[in-house]
């Protein structure tokens, strides 16, 4: 069973529908107690970094997520759920992130012809082609993005995929039991659905 964390800011409907379409077991998790029956977690998110962290605190998920990761259990972050894994963001400079990964979140500083936020389809170049979430997905496949900020990891070794939008930025990370994407797999048609299935398989057979 995969738990989709509901802290008041996630794209729960589309993520839940994607797993339902794939006929894979997933449920919405609204409290830390409900995490106990899950093999893996998904941290979705849309909106602002500061609001995200405030909601995670209010819903008592911060220590639960940190403990989940320290315990070696699989976690997948999506969009704002990726950004929240880092230490800080230029969007909300005084608000600490979860700090699962060292690094920060930067705002796009782009030529005028490139609109911010980036909205639409873009390619992901696989940096770690052995990542189990990339199985059966062609390198440079298109995924759907909506964002004005991007993660800047302190450790390049965790970068799993990169995307070019005026700047070559990290669009997915993978380290041990944590995988996360800036793009929305649940909105990315066949490649994205395959990625979600890969995560489910990885969590089911590895942990």
pLDDT in tens, 69-85: 999 999 999 999 999 99
Domain ranges of the chain: 2-206
Taking the domain 2-206, which CATH number applies? Answer: 3.40.50.880
Q: SS3 letters for the chain?
A: CEEEECCCCCCHHHHHHHHHHCCCCEEEECCHHHHHHCCEEEECCCCCHHHHHHHHHHCCCHHHHHHHHHCCCCEEEECHHHHCCCCEECCCCCCCCCCCCCEEEEECCCCCCCCCCEEEEEEEEECCCCCHHHCCCCCCEEEEEEECEEEEECCHHHEEEEEECCCEEEEEEEECCEEEECCEHHHCHHHHHHHHHHHHHHHHHHC
Is residue 207's pLDDT more than 90?
no
> Per the structure block, which two tokens stand in for 16?
């839940």
pLDDT in tens, 108-166: 999 999 999 999 999 999 999 999 999 999 999 999 999 999 999 999 999 999 999 99
Catalytic residues: 79, 184, 186
The whole-model pTM stands at 0.96
> Per the structure block, which two tokens stand in for 89?
């963001």
């Amino acid at each position: 069973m995969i738990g989709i964390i509901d802290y008041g800011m996630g794209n729960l409907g589309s993520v839940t529908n994607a797993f339902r379409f794939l006929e894979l077991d997933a449920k919405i998790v609204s409290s830390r107690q409900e995490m106990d029956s899950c093999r893996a977690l998904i941290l979705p998110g849309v909106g602002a970094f500061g609001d995200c962290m405030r909601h995670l605190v209010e819903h008592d998920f911060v220590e639960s997520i940190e403990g989940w990761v320290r315990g070696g259990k699989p976690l997948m972050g999506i969009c704002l759920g990726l950004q929240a894994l880092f230490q800080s963001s230029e969007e909300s400079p005084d608000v600490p992130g979860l700090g699962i990964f060292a690094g920060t979140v930067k705002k796009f500083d782009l030529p005028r012809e490139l609109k911010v936020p980036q909205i639409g389809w873009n390619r992901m170049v696989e940096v770690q082609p052995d990542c189990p979430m990339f199985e059966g997905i062609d390198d440079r496949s298109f995924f759907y993005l909506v964002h004005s900020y991007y993660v800047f990891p302190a450790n390049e070794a965790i970068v799993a995929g990169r995307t070019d939008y005026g700047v070559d930025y990290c669009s997915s990370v993978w380290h041990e039991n944590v995988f996360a994407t800036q793009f929305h797999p649940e909105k990315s048609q066949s490649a994205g659905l395959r990625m979600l299935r890969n995560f489910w398989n990885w969590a089911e057979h590895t942990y």
